[in-house]
Structure 1
Amino acid sequence: MVMIEKLLRFGRRQLHTIISRDIIKPANPTPSHLQTYNLSELDLLIGKLYLPMLLLYPNKDSCSLTAQDKTRVLKNSLSQSLTKYYPFAGRLPTLKTPYVDCNDKGVVFLEARSEANLEEFQLSLAQDENLDNLFPDDMVCNNSPHSTNLVGIQLNHFACGGVGLAVSMAHLLGDGCTFGSFLNHWASVARYGSADHKEVLPLNPYFIHVPRTDPSEAPVLNQQNAGLSTPVTRKFFFPNSKLIDLKKLVTSATNDIPTRVEVLTSLLYKTTVAAATTNSGCFKPSYLMIPVNIRKRLPEKLPQTAVGNIGSVMLVPTRHESETFLSELVGEIKKQKLQLEGIQSVQQATDNIKLLQSRLVSDQELETLAKRSYTCSSLCGYPFNKVDFGWGKPMATAIAIRSVGQNSIVLMDTADGDGIQAHVCLERKDMEIFQNDKELLSFCQINR
């Protein structure tokens, strides 16, 4: 039955209306011996966060599928995919339970209709504070009342025939690599057997089974921004040509060749610290935290389809303002990367993160830490721009970064491959200075 559940307004004319709600369950029941999926200690360290990704698809003349056809394809292929990704259709018995009850209760799937055209909506993404509303059941908020659900989907139909697929996954289930693998598995199932994609073979997930973890031993890692003011988000584009210039600038000072992500992370962090310093009137010690995927760094390399939070964290402290020079920051990031080469297991990575956390908590400047710690996550190289359900790859992607929290940065490849887009979430006063920084603006395009 069609339901008018809520109205969501974007700008002056863009109106979204929820028109249907469904629950998609696995095509086949989960076997009894798999009905409990233990979360790892690192999963529990992540805490109650969501990874909310928006994929925008234009209405191509070459695609003969109607809106109803696309919905049917998505639901059928999702049902089949949940048979393989069986924990995703489960529930947390309580918010503190260290395991998923793989009870096949399914994934919420909403449909919404918009009066806006897709291109019109895309132009508003750079400064759109209401992106959260494209996702179902507040599954972009840490304190969502529906947070025992682990995955939520909302298919947004635009007036031009294009669609925006909003998918939110609980971070407890896995990291960005897990999320990308799930989306591409789902897309492969949707294409599999079609006239144009007979060769497609979905890559199945690789599960690592771990013993039950005592949740009291895994304090939540992501609480450093608790109690701060309501943040604002902006999106910035850095073309490859500008990133090459930035790399040359750093190379000339260090005689070392950095990566695009290293130089951009350093520039963004430097600019955020400078903005905070201007607002407060003086420099204060700051920290940059960088999550890192370690699947390929372990002695026994794990496949990219390995499910879970399989990573470590690099910590770059800046105790003095002189340490915010680009060359200094890039050098420290490279130093931290070398230390990751010695990680022998996921458990060792978890122990390192716990040790890091204990160091931060015992820091005498804890109040300063809460206001001056920044997290920069890179999703560059992950296959979000390749998610093709049979009607082409997305024209744009976006992440509702406010789910991650204030003082957060997420880097993603642009859809056309010509650069990196940075989603930045800062306190409003800091953002006002950040987005007008002359050095930053010399390497980026705000509107694209």
Structure 2
Amino acid sequence: MEITITSKEIIKPSLPTPDDHKLFQLCLFDQLQLVTYLPMVLFYPNKEGLSELSHIRAQLKRSLSETLTIFYPVAGRREDHPFITCNDEGALYLEAKVNHNMVEFLRPPKLDFLNKLLPCEPNKMHSYREALPQVLVQVNIFNCGGIAIGTCNLHTLLDGCSGSHFQTTWAAICRGSREQVPPPDFSSGSSFFPPVNHFSLHGNVDQNNEDSSAQKMCTTRRFVFGAESINTLRAEAKDCGDESSKPPTRYEALAAFIWKHMTLACQMGGGDSTRPTVAIHIVDMRRRMGEPFSKYTIGNILWPVMVFCETVNANTGVRYLVSICREKFGKLSRELFLRVKSDPNILGSTQCMDLPQGVETRNPIPIVLTSWCGLNFSELDFGFGKPLWIGVRGGDQETLPNVAVIMETDAGMEAWLTMEMQHIANLERDIKFLRLALHNPSVSDI
């Protein structure tokens, strides 16, 4: 399959940023993020009655320009640690031709080619010293007239929730419904959690971004879990001895299941079944903080909840893993975040990490889990309907291993797992066991 770039340009804001907004201050949690791009590909099939492709492409560019005027920091570049210079340099915009029909591409999805529909290599680690575009877009035109919009959002400012609001605004403007989307809140993040200027913090974060030793050659697989499978997992994870406890959520049950089996795959690949493991859940703080935060607050309003487990084996129950995760989630509170606000130095302390002393010397297996559920990416309508399918990334690349992205589907949930190649192979060999464990054949790898 050939994917050919046909054009490349910079889309600038439709109006210049006012002088009093030329310098945008990041928040504390923006400073701590890895400098990497979060990828997504939205697939829109060709439909009868759609406008000409030339009109659609012009609308996408025009509406992106207007969106960048509203999201003015996204059109800028980070040139200093606590700031984005809002210089209107814009977003990188590419168009590409795909010599394939969309239906052929998606049945089943050709994950090995998915990254070619993206405007840059996803999840690659960059240095803070690079003045990178905040947003890159690649509009891919299939032979059948279908369109796949690949986006890469820089994690410096846009987390999943912020990226969703940016893309929701872009889609609304493109279809002529700008008034349906509330404006972004750019002030709450940095005013509530102002950045720090400690050199040690910047040095450590920059070193983490530039240290390629943490990156491995990895591959990504997608596992789809039907509604029956999710219900089975939730039933297994329910605390039968406590009728007053809330049933586990779909995310809690599936995340615990994934944590267990990714850990087992890593243990098999490393030949050490005694290594402990840490699940790192990336949690949106907005709802837990309350005012002044809302889903329209822009920035990385995220918190890593670290859950340690001494032993994981084939007999480890999902119920147990859900219970220890719930215990850690229960410790998240506005009071904890207020302590961080008053003293950012407690970040990384036992108050925040809540891990056994000396755990780092035992080389635990880290599994990063993040949820895109409820972010409404499946509702993104640019004027030609909702996406037929949403892809994240695929193929082989050097990146951080052991990362799971969990998303909703019409019929259940899906998980995109990125692991070292030999570990993914172990997990794929375990697919038969996964199906048996769920007593349901509606688990598939696609």
The alignment's TM-score, normalised by the length of structure 1, stands at 0.86
How far apart, CA to CA, are the structure 1 residues paired with 2:338 and 2:13? 30
The residue aligned with 1:241 is 228
1:183-222 equivalence runs, <5 A: 183-192=167-176, 201-208=180-187, 209-210=190-191, 211-214=194-197, 216=199, 217-218=201-202, 219-220=204-205
Q: 1:435 to 1:351 in 2, by over 3 A?
A: farther
Q: 1:228 to 1:171 in 2, by over 3 A?
A: closer
Does residue 1:400 correspond to 2:397, yes or no?
no
- Partner of 2:180, secondary structure, is coil
The residue aligned with 1:3 is none
Q: Deviations over 1:116-162 (max 9, x none)?
A: 1112222353x623422222243542238976221100001111111
How far apart, CA to CA, are the structure 2 residues paired with 1:225 and 1:388? 38
How far apart, CA to CA, are the structure 2 residues paired with 1:366 and 1:155? 46
Shift of 1:392: 0.4
The residue aligned with 2:144 is 160
- Give me the identity figure in percent: 28
Q: 1:421 to 1:404 in 2, by over 3 A?
A: farther
Does residue 1:374 correspond to 2:367, yes or no?
yes
Shift of 1:353: 4.7
For the 8 Å contact 2:12–2:90, the answer to whether it is kept is yes
Q: Deviations over 1:244-271 (max 9, x none)?
A: 1111122265544100000000000100
Which of 260, 266, 272 pairs up with 2:256? Answer: 266
For the 8 Å contact 2:305–2:329, the answer to whether it is kept is yes
For the 8 Å contact 2:306–2:355, the answer to whether it is kept is no
- Partner of 1:435, secondary structure, is helix
Shift of 1:71: 0.8
Q: 1:331 to 1:358 in 2, by over 3 A?
A: closer
The residue aligned with 1:88 is 74
Q: Deviations over 1:177-229 (max 9, x none)?
A: 0011110011111122xxxx6x9522210112445532632433976983453
Which of 6, 18, 34 pairs up with 1:31? Answer: 18
- Partner of 1:46, secondary structure, is coil
Shift of 1:98: 2.4
- Partner of 2:287, secondary structure, is coil
* Larger mean Cα displacement after TM superposition, 149-158 or 291-300: 291-300
Q: 1:110 to 1:346 in 2, by over 3 A?
A: farther
How far apart, CA to CA, are the structure 1 residues paired with 2:251 and 2:3? 35
Shift of 1:428: 1.3
Which of 137, 142, 149 pairs up with 2:125? Answer: 142
- Partner of 2:297, secondary structure, is coil
The residue aligned with 1:67 is 53
Q: Deviations over 1:362-411 (max 9, x none)?
A: 84544724xx1110000111111011000000011111276862110000
Letter of the structure 1 residue corresponding to residue 139 of structure 2: L
Which of 405, 413, 416 pairs up with 1:410? Answer: 405
For the 8 Å contact 1:313–1:353, the answer to whether it is kept is no
How far apart, CA to CA, are the structure 2 residues paired with 1:294 and 1:190? 30
- Partner of 1:233, secondary structure, is strand
For the 8 Å contact 2:277–2:312, the answer to whether it is kept is no
For the 8 Å contact 2:218–2:399, the answer to whether it is kept is no
How far apart, CA to CA, are the structure 2 residues paired with 1:25 and 1:117? 32
* Larger mean Cα displacement after TM superposition, 157-166 or 432-441: 432-441
For the 8 Å contact 1:297–1:343, the answer to whether it is kept is no
Does residue 1:309 correspond to 2:300, yes or no?
yes
How far apart, CA to CA, are the structure 2 residues paired with 1:70 and 1:258? 43
- Partner of 2:213, secondary structure, is coil
Shift of 1:278: 2.4
Q: 1:73 to 1:162 in 2, by over 3 A?
A: same
- Partner of 1:296, secondary structure, is helix
For the 8 Å contact 2:44–2:388, the answer to whether it is kept is yes
The residue aligned with 1:49 is 36
- Partner of 2:79, secondary structure, is coil
Q: 1:281 to 1:201 in 2, by over 3 A?
A: closer
Q: 1:346 to 1:109 in 2, by over 3 A?
A: farther
Does residue 1:340 correspond to 2:332, yes or no?
yes
- Partner of 2:443, secondary structure, is coil
Q: Which runs of 5+ in 2 are unaligned?
A: none
- Partner of 1:336, secondary structure, is helix
Q: Deviations over 1:84-141 (max 9, x none)?
A: 10011101226xx32111000111100000011112222353x623422222243542
